[in-house]
Amino acid sequence: MSNDPSTPSHEHAGHVSAQHAHHDEPDTHAGHHSHDHHQGHDEAPDSHDGHDTHAHHEVHGGHEHGHAGHGDHVGQFRRLFWIMLVLAVPVVGFNDMFAHLIGYHLPEAEWVWWVSPILGTVIYFWGGWPFLTGGLSEIRSRKPGMMLLIALAITVAFLASWGASLHILDHELNFWWELALLVVIMLLGHWIEMRSLAQTTSALDSLAALLPDEAEKIDGDHVVKVAPADLTVGDVVIVRPGSSVPADGRIVDGSASMDESMVTGESKTVRRETGDRVVAGTVATDSGLRVEVTATGDDTALAGIQKLVTDAQASSSRAQRIADTAAAWLFWFALGAAVITAAIWSLVGLPDTAVIRTITVLVIACPHALGLAIPLVVSIATERAARGGVLIKDRLALESMRTVDAVLFDKTGTLTKGEPTVTAIDPTGSRTEDEVLALAAAAEADSEHPLARAIVTAARTRELEVPAASEFSSSPAVGVKATVDGTVIEVGGPYLLDQHQAGELPIADSWRKEGAIILHVLADGDVVGALRLADEIRSESREAVDALHAAGVQVVMITGDAQAVADMVAKELGIDRVFAGVRPEDKAAKVAELQDEGRKVAMVGDGVNDAPALAQADVGIAIGAGTDVAIGSAGVILASSDPRSVLSVIELSRATFRKMKQNLWWAAGYNLISVPLAAGVLAPIGFVLPMSIGAILMSVSTVVVALNAQLLRRLDLTPQTSTSRILDRSA
C-alpha cells in the first residue's frame, strides 16, 4: 500500500519518527494490543493496513445456489446424453439411409421400419427438450440465437424424417440418424460446457471443504467443540498442529508454519506469529495456535474469493457478446440461405431438389460449436487461473490484459515487502557488523514492534548467537534499554544520542538521503554502530520487471514516498518511469496521464488507497485476495504477493484470446462454407454437399472446438513458470 505524503514519508519517519518515538512501554508483550511505543515508525510498518479489511466481504447469498445450478445442469445433460446415446444406437443402426451410406443390409422384418421413427421421436421430444424450450424463449424475447438455431435444425430434421418415413417427402430426407446424432452431439457439448463451468468453481468450492467440521472454542477455563458457523467475532479458538483454521482471525498465542496454498496458490509454507492474521482454511503444519476470530462466514477472505469467481462467471465479455451476435446473424443467414435455396431450385424446375436442399441447409446450419467457442474457453481459463492463484473477477479485464503496454506498480507492499528490514550496519572501532547486530537484537528481543522484529529477524537470518538480556525498559521518543552481559545496551534515535551528548555516525547523512530509517546502538553510553532499516525490495520484483520489458511493456512505479526513495528502488529494478510523492487521491490522475499518452494501462496495487487508480486503469490488478478494493475496483486479483503473477495474467490473456479466435473461426467458418455447399452453389460443376457429410462435419466442429478449449488446461500459470516462459522467448 502506498504512503500518503500528508503523513511523514519514509524519508522523515525513517529517522525522525523512529528516533523520536522509539518504545515507551516496558512490557511490550502485554496482550500485544498496541505498539504505541513506536508511533513514529507507523509509516513504515503500517504499510499493510489495507489488509486489515480482509474481513469486509459481501458474498451473494445465491452463490451456493449458483453452484448447485451448475451441478444440476451437469447431471441433467449427463443423464440425457447417456440415455439419448443408448437410444441413438438403434435409431442409427436400423436406419436404411445410414445402412445404405455404410453399405450393410437391414433385416426384412416389418418392425425394423418402425425403430428409427419411434425412437427418433422420443429423442426429439425428450433429448431435444432443452433446446426446444430455449429456442422458444429466444423467440419470445425476440433475440434469436444459438438455442433457436439448434431447435430449428432438429425440428426440420424431425419433420422431414417423418415426411420421408410416411412417403410424403423424398426418401433422401430420412434424417432420423442425423437427428439422433445432432441431439447426442449437442447434449455432449452442453454437458462439457456445464461440467467446465462447475469445475471452474470446484477448486474454490474445495476450499470450503477444507474448513474443519468443528472448532475448539475457549470458553473460560474450558474448551468446547462448536461448528465453525457458530463462531462469532472475538471468540478464541485452538488450532492444533495439522488442523485448519476455522475462521479468519489473528494469532494471540503461538507461532506456526502455515500452509496457505489453498488461498494463495503458493506451495511454500509461511511462518505466522503472534499478531499475524490467518485465513480460514489454511493449515497450521507444525505447531498449535490460539486464534482470535475476526471474521466468520460470508465475511471471510475465502468467501470473498468465491464471490470474485462467481462474478467472473456471470460477467459478459466482449468476445462472448461477439459470439452471441454471431449466433443471431447466423440464424438469419441460415434462414435467408434456406429461402434463397428454395427459390432458386424451384425456379430451375426442380421442386423436389429444392425441398431436399432447403432442409439440408437448415439442418447443417446449426452452429452448436459457436455456443461453446467462447464460454468453454473462458470457463477453463478462469479455472486454471484460480488454481494458479489468479482470480478473474471481470472477463473483459482478462481479454484486455493481452493488449496492455504499460504496467503501473504501487511501490510499498507490491514491489517491496512493505515492512522494515535491516539493510546495512555500520560498526565503530574494532566491533564487527555481527557484534553490533547481536547486541541490538538482544536489547530489542522483548519488543514486538516491527522495527524490533526486523532487527531480531536480521540476527536470526545471519544465524548469530544473541546473548540474553535483562532489565528491559523503553522510553517514549527515546528508545529501548537492556543489560547484556553486564553492559547497558541502548537502541534509538536522535533523542537517545542527545541524552548521551553523542553525535550521529557520518554514514547517517547518506542513509537519510535514501529515505532509510536510522537507529544507533550504544554500549554504556558510547556509540558502537548504526543500523539502516528500509522497506526491502522483493526478490521477485526484479524478474517481474525484466519479463515485462521482454514482453514489450513499459514499467512505471507510483508511490507516496519521497523522490530519492523512489528513484533508488527504480534504479535497482530498472523501472522506466517514476511518479513519486503522489497522494492516494491523485493516483487516478497519473493513470489517466498515461492513458492520454495512448497507452493501455494495468495498475497493480495492494490496498484501499489504490482503489481510484485501480478503477481508472484499463485493467485493475489487486494484490491481496479478498480485500474490499479487490472486490470493488479491480478486475483481476492476485492471491499471492508475487508481482510476477502479473506475467501469469498476461500469458493467460494471450493464450485465452488465441483459443477464442481459433474456436470462433472454426465454428463460424464451418457454417460460412458448408451452408452454400449444401445449398448447391457448386451444383453446376457437379458437386453438392451430401446431408450426411454435412451432419458429420457439424458434429466434428463441435468436438474440435471442445477439444481445442481443453488444451488450455496444459497451461502452467505459476508465476515462476510464466516469467521464465516470457524471458526464454525473448532470449
Active-site positions?
A: 410
Beta bridge partners of 604: 409, 621
Q: Quote the CA–CA distance of 56 and 63 in Å, as a whole number.
A: 17
Euclidean distance between CA atoms 57 and 630, whole angstroms: 10
CA angle 27–494–527, rounded 5-degree value: 90
481 in Cβ contact with 490 (< 8 Å): yes
Distance, in Å, from the CA atom of 366 to the CA atom of 678, rounded to the nearest integer, reads: 13
Strand order from edge to edge, sheet including 517-523:
416-427, 526-537, 517-523, 487-492, 479-484, 469-475
601-605 and 577-579 as β-strands: parallel, antiparallel, unpaired? unpaired
Residue 436 near residue 458, CB atoms below 8 Å: no
Exposed/middle/buried for residue 622 (C-beta within 10 Å: 0-12, 13-18, 19+): buried
Residue-level length of the chain? 731
- State the Cα angle at 367 between 361 and 369, rounded to 5°: 145
DSSP state, residue 411 = I
**HSE (side-chain half, CA atoms, 13 Å) at 695:** 24
Q: How large is the angle between the packed helices 146-165 and 351-364, nearest 10 degrees?
A: 140
**C-alpha separations of 572 from 65, 150, 272, 291, 539 in Å:** 50, 59, 29, 39, 11
- What end-to-end distance do the CA atoms of the chain give, in Å? 34
User: CB-based contacts of 590: which residues, under 8 Å, 6+ apart?
Assistant: 408, 558, 579, 582, 613
Q: Half-sphere exposure of residue 436, counting CA atoms within 13 Å on the CB side? A: 23
DSSP 230: G
CA separation for the pair 542, 73 (Å, rounded):
46
Determine contact, residues 176/135, Cβ cutoff 8 Å.
no
Local structure of 549: helix, strand or coil:
helix
Return the sign of the alpha-carbon dihedral for residues 458, 463, 465, 469: positive
Neighbours of 342 (CB within 10 A): 18
